[in-house]
Structure 1
């Protein structure tokens, strides 16, 4: 029986790998179903800036040949995956949403790509991003704008925009995202997915952020995390079990002492003391987001036996200092050198950021602010096991915006909607976004689960327990019913 793209889209990454390893499905069958799914959805979503169907077929054939030869297959045997276009792929264009790198082909795979390949994963292509990731949405000067499967007039969020759209549409069961200020969690929230930013250093990152030869590429080093975007906690954990662990090429990596798959098995939580903050004490939050997240948080107290305390973390809005850290991590000289020739073909918000001038104290102030934030967070998490919050202040909004100008009746900065996310890039703590529910307009809202420094296991256990208590597997974008019926 031929595997249809509808049947394929209902399978988890774990189910696909098991079926390929046992011979119930071939990697070639799975790949053809994934390509058919991509062909169906791409005209509507533009999730993939560089599809790679022939590379996928070649990889799948190698997986099937290895099985036929009696070789032991890896934990991701035959599983299609999307790779964010900020993550280097050897022999495959990595444009990073920029006309400057439109034809750039890296000489090395990123470490996580090496590990996915070694585990038997099948790369279906590169997923779309804003230019160099300096945005929380999904448009750039090179490729078609990525759209949200829940409503194609709205953004899927970013910067892992294409990864979010791909997974939500069932093109890949999971995808690689990167998160320098929320970019795994943002599209996960806007697309109804699980997104996990593990503790800083759990997942190695190289050459991205570290190759000084390439301005724009060599940014975000002290803030960036790479992580999974998936439709279930178990699939996210499966990817982490493959990509986590130290590597000498990334000086920030730490030992991998997390049993990712075991921690993602739903079980009884201990009686945790959990803080819940609707707005961190300073953010404007859409009323529907507040309502949906309150209902999700109630599950932890009512169904999971936790003590939930309403408490703000106690720091001041770090938004300005966060962007100071981004700029301090960037090759400003190299990127500014582009402006005379390339500014007209660059994203306006990025040009504006590069043209702004900053004195030296702006950067040292940002670093001092990070130290203060980390200290406040350490004291706060000394009282609580976890912090729950909305992932974002608003539901998905219109395409081609950087963010809403008004929320909850207040004039806001266009980046304020990301305010729940980037503090935990500054602290490096583990944070996950899981589906909290839908607004009255049928749009996804994310619940953020933040753990203490290095307490990735508890974040996974809490996410898995919440998923079991309030399953979201039946939620899917209405667009998919329309496309499958056509």
Structure 2
């Protein structure tokens, strides 16, 4: 590797080299920007470049280090920020043309924490309108493409983040997740992520005019999409640093107490009436074997009902969305997003009134069931979706399309509703008729134990290999 290939380095490798002075931050960021300029025009993953301010910050970090300042744990690591989160001086567009001039007055906690740790923002990444699709396209910034090819969606709503980090645009990509928006893009692009549990990462947008609904507050989390599990272990301790602007943040350390081994992993192939595609089945088997060989005690068992928890949670969320967001969607949204939401409301009939309050209360019932289950099995290995990732605009194709995108994805949003952490990691690369694409699995963990999920993801990654090297060969 030459210094012109610095963009290929993972975040932990970049931080190690910049902290020792083996390479300057300016060199790292310069190469990252060159990579962004080379591949982003074809992908449209980054919709606003921060190159000028990134180079200025890189020089300032180099100068500070030369003057004796202690480098942060993410010193010089290039990152991207999703356009639905505040970054001082930039528009928080959320993919909506009417919001193109909504300039953030201050950094959101997640941005502030990354900067405090020494990271450098090189660009802002795309999201669908209102960040409420599992695909990424909008009338303001356009469509993001998957670097594996245009036969497969880049996922959403953090689709720009997933496509960017896997294409080599920055070593870390910020994203968020209310029903799968970190895990869908990780799954689609072959990246690694962990959806943090409730209260783990401080969150708030200084530009917002009103507080979000209670389910949005309790289901939505901030996180990172990376190319390796090791980078989650490096970066998440910085991301979870406290911020008083989030009064419900839980200030626990990233690394929990070691568990007596071997750690028991509950394993299920149950898909609640959906057929499991052979490639997904093969990925689950590969992950099962990887965890077993790494010393985990993997047992195929019956799980507490995921389908009921997931459907109840998403119908409750749709009830809140219908009450608090529908006016904005109708006023500012495109015909496409209005039609998609119409199908959402049909697929997930919104709970209303007393029933909505009752189903919000029932959230504790599901969470308690899982809390008791996770006492015996600290980790759970599941499918993420029953079939390989869908193509672009599948969710615009009526009820059948929305069912393939979201209806079958109960393993995703069920754990948002219960506030439990869940990692997503590729376990297999499938060569399908339409083209190659990664096949992921999901690993759920006990509350506050994201580190256990990431450890298990690393074990799967060690067996399956990292998808980025294969992808870069294909891109070149």
Give TM-score scaled by structure 2 length: 0.89
Say whether the 8 Å CA contact 2:136–2:156 is kept in structure 1: yes
Where 1:449 maps in the other structure, the secondary structure is strand
Q: 1:81 is matched with which residue?
A: 79
Distance 1:411 1:178 in 2: 21
Higher helix share: 2
**Displacement of 1:338:** 6.2
C-alpha displacement at 1:281, in angstroms? 3.6
What are the residue-to-residue correspondences of 1:55-204 with 2, within 5 Å?
55-204=53-202
Using the TM superposition, give the Cα deviation of residue 405 of structure 1 relative to its aligned residue in structure 2, in angstroms.
7.8
Tell me how far apart the structure 1 counterparts of residues 332 and 264 of structure 2 sit (CA, whole Å). Answer: 55
Q: CA deviation at 1:126?
A: 0.8
Flag as ranges the 4+ runs of structure 1 deviating above 6 A.
354-357, 403-407
Aligned match of 1:233 in 229, 235, 257? 229
Q: Residue 428 of structure 1 aligns with which residue?
A: 419
Query: Any unmatched runs of 5+ in structure 2?
Result: none
1:50 and 2:48 equivalent?
yes
Give the whole-Å Cα distance in 2 for the aligned partners of 1:460 and 1:334.
34
Distance 2:325 2:420 in 1: 31
Q: Residue deviations 1:218-242, cap 9 Å, x none? A: 9821101111111111111211011
Residue 445 (structure 1) aligns with: 439
Q: Is 1:464 aligned with 2:462? A: no
- Name the counterpart of 1:372: 365
**Which residue does 1:8 correspond to in 2?**
6
Kindly indicate whether the alpha-carbon contact (under 8 Å) linking 2:91 and 2:103 is maintained by their aligned counterparts in 1: yes
CA contact (8 A) 2:76 2:119 kept: yes
CA contact (8 A) 1:83 1:175 kept: yes
2:274 equivalent to 1:287: no
Instruction: Mark the CA change 1:87 to 1:444 in structure 2 (over 3 Å): closer, same or farther.
Output: same
Q: Which moved more, 1:35-44 or 1:398-407?
A: 398-407
Q: Could you state the TM-score of these two structures normalised by the residue count of structure 1?
A: 0.88
Cα distance per residue 1:424-444 (max 9 Å; x no partner): 111111111111111232310
Match of 2:389 among 396, 405, 411: 396
Q: Please say if residues 236 and 254 of structure 2, whose CA atoms lie closer than 8 Å, have aligned partners that are also in contact.
A: no
Note the C-alpha offset of 1:396.
Answer: 2.4
Deviations 1:440-484 (A, max 9, x none): 32310111111122222322332233333x152365454x33553
3-state DSSP of counterpart to 2:441: strand
| 1:147 and 1:153 in contact (8 A); partners too | no
Distance 1:450 1:129 in 2: 25
Matched, 1:211 2:203: no
Question: Are 1:306 and 2:300 counterparts?
Answer: no
| Paired residue total | 471
CA distance in 2, matches of 1:247, 1:162: 26
- When residues 322 and 112 of structure 1 are mapped into structure 2, their CA distance, relative to the original with a 3 A threshold, is same
Partner residue in 1 for 2:219: 223
Equivalent residues of 2:191, 2:467 under 8 A apart: no
Q: Distance in 1 between matches of 2:99 and 2:242?
A: 29
Cα displacement (A) at 1:347 = 5.0
Shift of the 139–343 alpha-carbon distance from structure 1 to 2, 3 Å rule, reads closer
- 1:273 and 2:264 matched: yes
Evaluate the alpha carbon distance shift between residue 432 and residue 295 of structure 1 in structure 2; reply closer, same or farther with a 3 A threshold. Answer: same
Whether the 8 Å CA contact 1:53–1:125 is kept in 2: the answer is yes
The equivalent of 2:241 in structure 1 is: 245
Partner of 2:330: 339
Query: Once the two structures are superposed, what CA deviation does each residue of 1:220-277 show, in whole Å capped at 9, x if it has no partner?
Result: 21101111111111111211011113332212211222238x98xxxx9922222111
**Is the contact made by 1:336 and 1:354 (CA closer than 8 Å) also made in structure 2?**
no
Q: Deviations over 1:115-157 (max 9, x none)?
A: 1111221101111111122111111221121111112332111
Q: Is the 8 A contact 2:264 2:296 kept in 1?
A: no
Q: Which runs of 5+ in 1 are unaligned?
A: none
Displacement after TM superposition at 1:360 (Å): 0.8
Query: C-alpha deviations, 1:397-446, integer Å up to 9, x for none?
Result: 21122288899xx9946412422111111111111111111123231011
